[in-house]
Each structure stands twice: as structure tokens, then as C-alpha cells.
């Protein structure tokens, strides 16, 4: 079996069997992942420096930070989407102001499992003779408030997943994948070269009904903070709402460092699929 297929199996097995992907009721946080690959040489990663900001790392910069020689032999970005299970999505669908407990646990404890998956994938690639790092777990990864872009970070998992053919952006800024917009995503960069996944879209917001000229906008009405409009999503106002005092109380009540919100990702036509129309 080639290394790409073996890695896909490893990621699927980890999501199937790892105890970290088990919620308090014994169910799972995430269903079987979607997996995609991007070439580190894909021009999109240089474009991201223009679109997001010069602070956004390219895969080759990440490899150099991981000790690879400058101008090395290339790299691959391995990306995955962890679809949030139906019962959690259902529990959030009925919320009108704040996330459900199951949603908050998925954002907190489920993301802890996602970090573990990042480590498992990187260690597996190293055991196959490569260099491999999870950008989100690297020293130096940070969030910042850029005067032009607003809230941003030195590596965006969603932009990596877009490059790896896993989905497109949307009116509310989420990534709509074949398993919908309600998910967590992750990535690892390695100098082991693997075939990239074809991107089955031509526009960066193609999977969103409103963005492709259809009739939707349900996420606009779902947002309790009123921060989504036909023009898009106001990241700064979203953050102010989701880090306000009621959310601080929820973090304490649920016992997690982050609870998310996700009202714009549930009870919407793109919740678990690419909407038709
Ligand atoms: S709810 Fe509709 S408008 Fe909003 S992101 Fe999903 S498809 Fe696009
Ligand atoms: S845009 Fe922000 S505040 Fe509004 S529903 Fe989505 S996550 Fe919640």
C-alpha cells in the first residue's frame, strides 16, 4: 500500500478508535474524517500572504522552522475535516442565543482530540522517515489582530483545507465541505511528497447557496449577534459576542476553555452537506 493510502487509513483509524474522540455519554465528537492533500508548492499558499497577510506561513517556511534546509525538496500539506456528529448538531439546532452543552464540549474536548490527531499524524510521518509538524502546535503559531484583515493567524486550517480540495468558504466565513459546515479541521505539513487532491471547485465560495446567486441567507437569521449580512461576516463583532460574559459563564459551566457558538453552522441548509439549488 502506498504511503498516501496508509496515512488515510491511519487518520480514519485514529478517529474510529481513539478514546479522545468519545464524549461524556459514550458517543463520538466526530464522524469519520474527510482527508485531502495539497502540494506545498501550490501557488495558493503564496497568494495567502496577499489575501490574509504577509505573516501567514507558507508550507516551505513551516518546513524551515522544523529544521529543513532553506529551499528544500518540497512538501505536502495533509488536511482533514472532522464532521460533528448528528446528535450534537441537533442539540445546537434548537439553540437561539448560546451553544448547547454538547456543542461546547465538542469545541473544548473534541478540539483536544483534534490536537492529539495532529500529533499522531506528525509522529506517524516522522516514523516513515520524513519531517512533519502540525503548524497549530508549533512554537510561534499565534492569532493576531491585523489592521487590514482583522482577526487572523499565522496558519489557517480552513485555508489549508480549501487548498486541499476539501471545501469552499461561505457567507458566514465557515468552510462548506461535502459533509457540511459543522466540523473542526486540522493539518500537518511534511517533506514527504504525496499526490495532491484535485480541487472540485472554481470559485472560493462556490459551495454557499447565497454566494453562488441562490436564495438562502439562513445563517443571517440564525446569528443572534446580527453579525452576518449579504455582504459577509464581521469577524470582530462575532468574537466580541462569543467572548462576552454569558460565554465566559458557559465555559465555566461546561468545564472547557472554549465553547464556540456555531448557531450559523446548525439549522442551516449547509449544516451537513453542500446545499443544492
Ligand atoms: S446558510 Fe446559506 S447563505 Fe449561509 S453559509 Fe450556508 S448556504 Fe451560505
Ligand atoms: S457569526 Fe458568530 S455570533 Fe453569529 S452565529 Fe456565527 S459564530 Fe455565532
Q: How far is the CA of 264 from the centre of ligand 2 (A)?
A: 6
Confidence band, pLDDT 50/70/90 cuts, at residue 277: confident
For residue 1, the model assigns a pLDDT of 67
pLDDT beyond 70 at 156: yes
Q: How far is the CA of 69 from the centre of ligand 1 (A)?
A: 43
Q: What is the mean pLDDT of residues 97-109?
A: 98
Please indicate whether residue 219, judged by its CB atom, sits closer than 6 Å to ligand 1: yes
DSSP code for 66: T
- Burial call 227-242: b when 16+ CB within 10 Å, e when fewer: bbeeeebbeeebbebb
d(CA 16, CA 226): 37
Nearest-atom index, ligand 1, CA of 207: 7
Q: What is the mean pLDDT of residues 119-130?
A: 97
Q: With beta carbons less than 8 A apart as the criterion, state whether 30 and 21 touch.
A: yes
For residue 28, the model assigns a pLDDT of 97
Ligand nearest to the CA of 261: 2
Please indicate whether residue 263, judged by its CB atom, sits closer than 6 Å to ligand 2: yes
Confidence band, pLDDT 50/70/90 cuts, at residue 18: very high
Mean pLDDT of the chain: 96
Least confident of 57-71, 90-104, 237-251: 57-71
For residue 272, the model assigns a pLDDT of 98
d(CA 78, CA 59): 11
DSSP code for 10: H
pLDDT beyond 90 at 25: no
Please indicate whether residue 238, judged by its CB atom, sits closer than 6 Å to ligand 2: yes
Q: With beta carbons less than 8 A apart as the criterion, state whether 107 and 223 touch.
A: no
What are 220-250's pLDDT values in tens digits?
999 999 999 999 999 999 999 999 999 999 9
d(CA 273, CA 82): 13
Nearest-atom index, ligand 2, CA of 242: 3
d(CA 208, CA 171): 7
Please indicate whether residue 182, judged by its CB atom, sits closer than 6 Å to ligand 1: no
For residue 150, the model assigns a pLDDT of 87
The residue nearest atom 6 of ligand 1, judged by CA position, is 270
pLDDT beyond 70 at 65: yes
Q: Which of 52, 26, 62 is nearest to 153 (CA)?
A: 52
Q: How far is the CA of 91 from the centre of ligand 2 (A)?
A: 16
Please indicate whether residue 233, judged by its CB atom, sits closer than 6 Å to ligand 2: yes
All three cell numbers of 67: 529544521
Please indicate whether residue 172, judged by its CB atom, sits closer than 6 Å to ligand 2: yes
d(CA 22, CA 110): 8
For residue 71, the model assigns a pLDDT of 73
Ligand nearest to the CA of 242: 2
pLDDT beyond 80 at 114: yes
Ligand nearest to the CA of 240: 2
Please indicate whether residue 166, judged by its CB atom, sits closer than 6 Å to ligand 1: no
Q: What is the mean pLDDT of residues 148-170?
A: 96
d(CA 135, CA 56): 11
Amino acid at each position: 500500500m502506498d504511503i498516501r493510502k496508509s496515512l488515510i487509513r491511519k487518520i480514519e483509524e485514529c478517529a474510529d478508535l481513539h478514546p479522545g474522540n468519545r464524549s461524556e455519554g459514550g458517543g463520538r465528537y466526530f464522524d469519520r474524517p474527510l482527508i485531502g492533500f495539497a502540494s506545498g508548492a501550490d501557488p495558493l499558499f503564496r497568494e495567502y500572504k496577499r489575501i490574509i497577510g504577509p505573516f501567514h506561513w507558507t508550507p516551505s517556511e513551516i518546513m524551515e522552522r522544523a529544521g529543513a534546509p532553506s529551499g528544500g525538496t518540497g512538501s505536502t500539506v495533509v488536511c482533514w475535516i472532522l464532521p460533528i456528529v448528528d446528535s450534537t448538531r441537533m442539540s445546537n439546532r434548537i439553540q437561539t442565543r448560546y451553544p448547547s452543552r454538547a456543542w461546547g464540549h465538542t469545541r473544548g474536548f473534541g478540539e483536544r482530540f483534534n490536537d492529539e490527531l495532529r500529533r499522531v499524524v506528525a509522529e506517524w510521518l516522522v516514523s516513515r522517515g520524513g519531517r512533519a509538524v502540525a503548524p497549530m502546535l508549533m512554537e510561534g503559531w499565534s492569532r493576531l489582530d491585523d489592521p487590514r484583515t482583522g482577526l487572523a493567524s499565522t496558519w489557517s486550517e480552513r485555508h489549508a483545507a480549501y487548498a486541499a480540495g476539501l471545501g469552499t468558504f461561505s457567507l458566514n466565513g465557515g468552510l462548506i465541505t461535502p459533509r457540511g459546515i459543522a466540523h473542526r479541521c486540522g493539518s500537518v505539513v511534511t517533506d514527504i511528497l504525496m499526490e495532491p487532491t484535485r480541487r472540485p471547485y472554481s470559485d472560493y465560495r462556490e459551495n454557499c447557496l447565497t454566494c453562488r446567486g441562490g436564495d438562502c441567507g439562513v445563517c443571517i437569521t440564525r446569528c443572534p449577534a446580527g453579525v452576518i449580512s449579504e455582504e459577509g461576516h464581521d469577524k470582530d463583532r462575532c468574537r466580541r459576542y462569543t467572548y462576552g460574559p454569558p460565554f465566559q459563564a458557559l465555559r465555566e459551566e461546561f468545564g472547557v476553555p472554549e465553547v464556540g457558538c456555531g448557531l450559523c453552522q446548525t439549522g442551516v441548509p449547509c449544516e451537513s452537506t453542500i446545499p443544492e439549488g
